[in-house]
A = this chain, B = another copy of it.
């Protein structure tokens, strides 16, 4: 399959749904909505929400059923970027080639836009049961999966661990422990959420969970590799930003070749996990392969 064409088509579906989710609403201050929209519509690749749709289809569902949950996951990802970029955190002024939210607006609006995106994610997910006809107990499971992945033992905990590891001589166990929570948890949640929305039975749910678990880490290793080797023109971020921040990354601990090896091993485990799912999982295979090979070669 042509993975780039597939992703472009899916991205368009997500953009339309996000537009609807972030339309002007009574009571929402204009400046707040502008800051939220600035953060959300900034050329993101939409990997997480596309994963939700893919996993839903791999489980036998139609992608419409997963759309509100896909948007919820993307809003949470976006809020995390806005808060991570703040001066008190990573202090980044550039993201995807544009000024970060606290630079384009101000710190207060960046903090509050992040808070609002996180909160609206749960509003969308809670409303999603009614609009999609998803069984209410499954919708509650979806919300629990998202909250757990995004919360203190997941993404937020990973960001704390990441900040506390800056300048510390990290070993591979620390790097994996940070990455598992900071990035991999939400990627894995995206896959699980899609599987739940698609009505996956136990065996398919287990297979998709295993895939998400490996893909989450593979994704972050690939991101580390691109940060270490690619230019601002490719990443939209300051070149070598991780190294400048003394961040705990795979290339920093294992070298570029070592990190490439890890990424390829994780890809093999992603593909093995999908074996029970047959042809319906072809897009998930293609996506994992695309992400890893772009950063680590074949």
| Contact surface of A with B, Cβ cutoff 8 Å | 25-29, 31-33, 36, 79, 83, 86, 88-89, 106-109, 111-112, 114-116, 118-120, 122-123, 125-127, 129-130, 136-137, 139-141, 143-144, 146-148, 150-154, 156-157, 159-161, 163-164, 181
Contact = CB atoms under 8 A, between A and B. Distances in A.
Contacts of A25: 152-153
Given A136-B137, A137-B136, A140-B139, A33 B89 contact: no
Given A106-B88, A107-B88, A157-B27, A123 B140 contact: no
Contacts of A147: 119-120, 122-123, 126
A29 B119 contact: no
A156 B115 contact: yes
Contacts of A153: 25-28
A156 B106 CA distance: 15
Contacts of A136: 136-137, 139-140
A90 to B, nearest CB: 9
Contact of A123 (B107, B120, B144): B144
A150 B119 CA distance: 7
Contacts of A126: 140-141, 143-144, 147
A156 B29 CA distance: 9
